Amino acid sequence: MKNPIRVLLCLCTAVLLTGCAARRASPPAAETQTPDAVEALPAAETGPAAELDLTGLSDSAAFRAVRDLLLFPERYTGRTVKVSGVCAVYYDEAADVYRYACRLPGADGDALLEFLPADGERPPAPDRAITVFGVFDLSAEGPFLRCALRDARLPAQGA
C-alpha cells in the first residue's frame, strides 16, 4: 500500500462509485412520475429548444454570457438564444418606438439584452420576470450596430 499511485487510484474509484450510487438512487423515483406527465405538457410551455440556453447557467454566468454576446457579437450571429431576466422598456424618442430588453442584474451594473418581439407577440409589461427566445442578430441602424434577439417569443409564465 506504499505505492502512491495505487492510493490515488483507490481514491478516484471511491469517488466514482459514490457518484454512480447517487445516480442510481434518484432515477427510480422519477420514472414512476414521468409517463403521465409527458402527455400533459403542451409544446408552448416548454418552448422551442435554443442553441444557447442561458437559463441553464447560473445567474452570474448568464450575466457574463450576455456581456460576451454584446462584446463579441460576431461569435453568436444567427444562433437561437434563450434568456430569462426582468423586462425593461424604454421609449426611443428619436425613432418614436418602444424598445424592449431583458435585464440581468450583475455585481457592477446590469446587462441588457435587447429583443424585438415577433409579429403577434404581446409586448410584456416592464419589471416582470420574462423568458425570451430569439435569434441573435446584428443590424445596422444609422451609424450604430444594434445587437438584439429578433423574432422574440415569450412563452406564457406559469406552471
Partner 1 sequence: MGRLLETLNAYLQFPFVRYALIVGVLIALCASLLGVTLVLKRFSFIGDGLSHVAFGAMAVASVLQLSNQLLLVLPLTVLCAILLLRAGQNARIKGDAAIAMLSVAALAFGYLLLRLSPSTSANLSGDVCTTLFGSASFLTLSMQDVWFCVFLSAAVLGLFALFYNKLFAVTFDENFARAVGTRADVYNLLIAAVIAVIIVLGMKLVGSLLISALIIFPALSAMRVFRSFRAVTLFSAGLSVVCALLGLLLSLAAGTPVGATIVAADAAAFVICWLIGVFLRK
The binding site for partner 1 (CB under 8 A) comprises: 1-2, 4, 7-8, 11, 19-20, 22-23, 51-53, 56-61, 64-65, 67-68, 71-72, 75-76, 108
The DSSP element (H or E) to which 113 belongs, if any, is strand 111-117
CA distance 92 to 94: 6
What are residue 121's DSSP bridge partners?
A: none
CB of 74 to partner 1, least distance (A): 10
Closer residue to partner 1, CB minimum distance, 7 or 44: 7
C-alpha cell of 12?
478516484
Closer residue to partner 1, CB minimum distance, 53 or 121: 53
CB of 119 to partner 1, least distance (A): 28
CA distance 77 to 147: 9
Closer residue to partner 1, CB minimum distance, 22 or 125: 22
C-alpha cell of 16?
466514482
